[in-house]
Amino acid sequence: MPDNVSNLSEDRIAYLEGLVSQARTAAAAFTQYTQEDVDRIVKPMVLAGMEQARRLATLAVEETRLGVLEDKAMKNMVATEFVYNYVKDKRTVGEISHDPERGLVEVAEPIGVIFSITPITNPTSTVLFKCIMAIKTRNAVIFGPHPLAWRCCQEAMRVMYETAVKHGAPEGVFTCLESPTVPDNNWLMRHKDVRLVDATGGRGAVKAAYSSGKPALGVGPGNTPVYLEKTAELDMAVVDIITSKTFDNGTICASEQTVVIDDEIYDRALEKFADLGAHICTPKETALLGRVLVDPETGMARPQAIGQKAIDIARFAGLSVQPHTKLLIAPIQGVGPAYPLSVEKLFPLLTVYRAKSVDEALKVCVDVNHAGGRGHTAVVFSRNDEIIRKFSDVIDAGRIIVNSPGSIGALGGVYNDMVPTFSFGCGTGGGNSTTDNVNVYHYLNIKRQARRTQMPMWFRIPNQIYFNRNAVESLRQFPSRSTVIVTNPLLEQIGHVDTVRRNLAPETRVHVLTIPEVEPNIKIVAEGLEVLQFYKADQIVALGGGSVIDAAKIMKLKYESPEADLEELGAPFLDIRKRVAEYPVGKTNRARLVAIATTSGTGSEVTPFAVLFDHERGRKVTLVDYSLSPDVAIVDPQFVMSMPKGLTADTGIDCLTHGLEAGVSVYASPYTDSNAMQAIRLAFKYLPVAYENPQDEEARTMMHNAACIAALAFSNASVGVNHALAHAFGARFGVAHGRANALMLPHVIRYNASVPAKFMPSPHQRAYTAHKKYATIAELLGLGGVTIAEKVDRLIAATERLLDQLAIPRSIADMGISKEDFERAVPDLAKMAFDDPSWRTNPRMPLLSELAELFWMAYRGRGRASEQPTEVEALAYAHQ
């Protein structure tokens, strides 16, 4: 407990403890109420408040000696009727909102016991307002009224309480401190059973609330600047300002304080103010008011003036004014200590400033705003939207009231559609937690029930795929005036380019661009781009393996979107739908891209991927976007009949890896599964045949189709950790991609089929299914086995047999890489593999240590991975 509460007597503490106990019990009982229960209670409370509005206003004026009875009565009515109009249809119990499309449900939970400080300026209206909010939200409130307003507050609370209990509210739901003191407040604010402090009052009370260590709504003083801009509707503005500033003798903290008036209308504005009952002070009178009304020690207006009439303030200062004077207007030439009246004045005295320009006007408004009014309220009168926008930009205020009165406007619901309130959040500028008009939602803990959602998936493939022998003839149907064939020198030598040329539409002008058979880099792309631009290509035929087709994809991207930043487009991402990089959209399809595959592995002819080698950084950048997908794919086996055996093996295993990884991917779908499974089946059946008998046309055709079909699967389901490992290992040791995949493959199947150390977060997966999907593949291949574990074992064994048939080395060691070199490389390899986006769809989230271990397993070689399952793996199989 703070020092200033230690002098509370035992009796006082017992009294306060009793209030909390009563409120706590009421709050607990209140949790059992339904929405209908609380709504049944709120309505009669509002009617009772309306009924008693004038009487309560009278009590407030009598007790506080502040303000205007009629205005206070109106405030009591706003606090009940307008607030009710806002809350009556609001759900505040249980489920309060439901967004079935997003699977989000908001559920309201009451806070419990709220300790609420209320001000002297708006005593009864604030109590009425908070009582209605509390019942609507099933909370209990202990009121701590201003010491000079506690009797009227207690009476307002009594009216509300008796009506509420009569209609079913729990006993003890409201209590009010008698003869409240600051130590009482401090004690209550820190009580363990008080869940929220809601302080509407002066600086001290608000600061104490925020210092209590409790969640707090602290709403304090302001200093409202008004910009009266030259385009404003002057008559309306003057009436609004007078209405607002004289309302309840200026006690509302949102009321106007300093009006900054454009030079062009300054004199006319002051004339109008004077015509409507304002007294325009001379410089001497202004100085006198500043000396009398502002305490030079604190720099704040003297409390004696608060809520008093203009003529009484004038009299108090020794000024002679007309008896009908309703407002004092004091011209000032600046803001700050040299101009004492530039502070908040909760009485009918308004300062005005003549501004020579918009710039000067805005600066003075900012100065006023920062002289005690940050976060609160500001007002602008203008018909110029740009001025209003600029004013809103530069002024720090929770409420920017436009072309209407500040005080009544800020209350909400009268001049605008803001939420009705008697508590103005001032944001961090005012040391508050909110800029809102405090309302029922601030009296609730809103729980978000988030249902599992499944993002829409996709299956996107090129528009046209032509396959089987002589599919290349389909080229004739595509008209072109200028076609660039992108290929490599070897394919030109062996006559493939001529085959393509013969099959192009007759009128086509053809240029052949040969590029090296290496992964494309910036230089190759740039040179290709120049060729495309020079020949004004309207068709690009990419004839080659993955490297050539990837190069053509990137050339087309740059051809159609020269501004595309390849480095940015290749930036890493976790989820393709949420990545930072933005690929060009709405670009013109200047050139049709026809991809003719001359290997049976990468499937680049249908994929949205392209790999670019970044020489400067010594790394591969993978570009991924469906805009990269070729427009037409030609899968014609005549282009692969001459593939050498090694290339047949490596690319064939790449195809198999695509199928296996897409099959167990967390993005796998029935659409991709059908392709993945078919590709796997074809690869197991025809790859050994194509390898042993390169001229077997059926085997070549089926493997060519398998590569394309696998690519359709992984274009949509993506790949997995096998590719991440292979990319890192291949780049470091210069090993062909397919071969690198082959070295990892059996180990990755074993790895994915065991219980993950870390599951991959994926809303698409309802359970861990990788091992089951491998078992399904084993069934499809007719490998036998009874249990899932046996089937997985047989799939691994079959994969290893296939690799042996293809004469692929059994281990990384067998490739002549020394253990010392490999040991040095493994830490970096693991990091590179981890940074590779390929594993983002792997069913099992790899740890760095696991990646390193997988590299070591590949180093030691196949046949060993399945020999001795680890403890974790054994556990996985035991659970099947």
Partner 1 sequence: MPINETLQEALEKLDGAAGEVVLDFSSVRRVDPAALRMMEKLAAAAGEKAVKVVLRGVNIDIYKALTLVKLTPRFSFQ
Dig out the tokens for 119 from the structure. 């001000």
Interface with partner 1 (CB under 8 A), residue from 8, 19, 20, 22: 22
DSSP strands (E only) in 201-242? 216-219, 224-228
Q: Report how many residues bind partner 1 under the rule CB under 8 A.
A: 13
Nearer to partner 1, 172 or 348 (CB): 172
Closest CA to 328 of 302, 303, 300, 308: 308
Taking the complex as a whole, the smallest distance from the CB of residue 29 to partner 1 amounts, in Å, to 5
- Cα–Cα distance for residue pair 682/701, rounded to 1 Å: 10
Residue 735, amino acid: V
Q: How far is the CB of 170 from partner 1 (least distance, A)?
A: 5
Candidates 29-37, 290-298, 451-459, 605-613; binding stretch for partner 1 (CB under 8 A): 29-37
Among 21-29, 92-100, 115-123, 375-383, the segment contacting partner 1 (CB under 8 A): 21-29
Pick the binder of partner 1 from 14, 31, 263, 819 (CB under 8 A).
31
Q: Which of 19, 20, 24, 255 binds partner 1 (CB under 8 A)?
A: 24
CA–CA distances in Å: residue 206 to residues 406, 426, 433, 704: 22, 11, 11, 75
Beta strand 609-614 with 619-624 is: antiparallel
The reply on whether position 514 binds partner 1 by CB under 8 A is: no
Q: How far is the CB of 162 from partner 1 (least distance, A)?
A: 15
Closest to partner 1 by CB, 26 or 555:
26
Report the nearest approach of partner 1 to the CB of residue 455 (Å). Answer: 34
Q: How crowded is residue 878: how many other Cβ atoms within 10 Å of its Cβ?
A: 9
Say if CB 799 and CB 847 are below 8 A apart.
no
- Report, in Å, the least distance between residue 193 CB and partner 1: 9
Q: Does 70 bind partner 1 (CB under 8 A)?
A: no
Q: Which is nearer to partner 1, 92 or 200 (CB)?
A: 92
Contact code string over 314-333 relative to partner 1, x by CB under 8 A: --------------------
Q: Does residue 19 bind partner 1 (CB under 8 A)? A: no
Instruction: Look up residue 470 and give its amino acid.
Output: N
Which of 6, 7, 9, 32 touches partner 1 (CB under 8 A)? 32
Q: Return the number of the residue (31 or 693) whose C-beta is nearest partner 1.
A: 31
Q: Where are the beta strands (DSSP E) in 55-180?
A: 94-99, 104-110, 113-118, 140-145, 174-176
Q: Considering only 19-27, 294-302, 667-675, 812-820, which stretch makes contact with partner 1 by CB under 8 A?
A: 19-27
Least spacing, CB of residue 654 vs partner 1, in Å: 58
Window 672-711: contact mask with partner 1 (x via CB under 8 A)? ----------------------------------------
Exposure string of 86-115, with b = 16+ CB inside 10 Å and e = fewer, is bbeeeebbeebeeeeeeeebbbbebbbbbb
Whether the Cβ atoms of residue 246 and residue 326 lie closer than 8 Å to each other? yes
One residue of 12, 15, 17, 29 binding partner 1 per CB under 8 A = 29
- Per-residue contact string for residues 336-355; x = within reach of partner 1 by CB under 8 A: --------------------
- Give whichever of 169 and 690 is closer to partner 1, judged by the CB atom: 169
The region of 23-31, 151-159, 474-482, 691-699 touching partner 1 under the rule CB under 8 A is 23-31
Residue with smaller CB distance to partner 1, 171 or 498: 171
Please report where in the chains the tokens 């020579």 appear, as a residue. 356
Amino acid of residue 298: T
3-state helix, strand, coil in the chain (%, to 5): 50, 15, 35
- With CB under 8 A as the contact rule, which of the stretches 26-34, 73-81, 259-267, 627-635 interacts with partner 1? 26-34
Largest CA distance in the chain: 116
Q: Rounded to whole angstroms, how far apart are CA atoms 544 and 143? A: 81
Residue 835 in contact with partner 1, rule: CB under 8 A: no
- Per rule CB under 8 A, is residue 36 in the interface with partner 1? no
Task: Choose between 7 and 32: whose C-beta lies nearer to partner 1.
Answer: 32
Residue 95 in the binding site for partner 1 (CB under 8 A): no
DSSP annotation of 170: P
Helix (H, G, I), strand (E, B) or coil at 297: coil
> 166-185: which residues touch partner 1 (CB under 8 A)?
170-172
Q: Please tell me the distance from the alpha carbon of residue 69 to that of residue 525, in angstroms, as a whole number.
A: 81
Q: Pick between residue 27 and residue 197 the one whose CB is nearest to partner 1.
A: 27
- Smallest distance from partner 1 to CB 39, Å: 17
Shortest Å distance, C-beta 23 to partner 1: 10
Q: How far is CA 456 from CA 335, 590, 667, 763, in A?
A: 58, 30, 11, 11
- Residue placing its CB nearer to partner 1 in the complex, 32 or 818: 32
Residues designated catalytic: 253
- Would you count residue 64 as binding partner 1 (CB under 8 A)? no
676, 697 Cβ separation under 8 angstroms:
no
Question: Does position 138 bind partner 1 by CB under 8 A?
Answer: no
218 scored as a contact of partner 1 (CB under 8 A): no
CB of 226 to partner 1, least distance (A): 47
Dist. CA 557–CA 573, nearest whole Å: 20
CB 194 within 8 A of CB 20: yes
Judged by DSSP in three states, 534 sits in: helix
Using DSSP's 3-state secondary structure scheme, residue 199 falls into strand
Please say which residue, 123 or 172, places its beta carbon nearer to partner 1.
172
User: Could you tell me the smallest distance in angstroms from the CB atom of residue 10 to partner 1?
Assistant: 21
Phi, then psi, of 596 in degrees rounded to 5: -115, 110
DSSP assignment, residue 433? Answer: S
Distance of alpha carbon 516 from alpha carbon 534, whole angstroms: 20
Point out which span in 28-36, 481-489, 603-611, 825-833 binds partner 1 (CB under 8 A). 28-36
Q: Which of 5, 8, 19, 27 binds partner 1 (CB under 8 A)?
A: 27
- Radius of gyration for the chain, computed over Cα atoms and rounded to the nearest angstrom: 39
Q: Are 487 and 512 in contact (CB under 8 A)?
A: yes
Residue closer to partner 1 (CB basis): 193 or 560: 193
Residue 298 binds to partner 1 (criterion: CB under 8 A): no
Cα–Cα distance for residue pair 447/466, rounded to 1 Å:
55
The residues in 108-137 that bind partner 1, with binding defined as CB under 8 A, are 112
Q: Cβ distance 423 to 217 under 8 Å?
A: yes
Joined together, the tokens standing for residue 729 give 């290992």
Q: Give the ranges where 665-717 is alpha helix by DSSP (H).
A: 670-692, 697-717
Q: Which of 13, 17, 25, 400 binds partner 1 (CB under 8 A)?
A: 25
Stretch touching partner 1 by CB under 8 A, among 165-173, 331-339, 381-389, 811-819: 165-173
Helix (H), strand (E) at residue 183: helix 182-189
Nearest-approach distance from CB 28 to partner 1, in angstroms: 4
* Min separation Cβ 171 and partner 1, Å: 5
In the bound complex, what is the minimum distance in angstroms from residue 862's beta carbon to partner 1?
Answer: 57
The footprint of partner 1 on residues 439-478 (CB under 8 A) is none
- Nearer to partner 1 among residue 34 and residue 787 (C-beta): 34
Pick from 16, 19, 20, 26 the residue near partner 1 by CB under 8 A.
26
Residue 463 DSSP class: S
Nearest to 225 by CA among 342, 382, 347: 342
Rounded CA separation 400/377 (Å):
6
H/E element holding 242?
helix 234-246
Alpha-carbon distance of 595 to 473, in angstroms, equals 13
Q: Which residues lie near partner 1 (CB under 8 A)?
A: 22, 24-29, 31-32, 112, 170-172
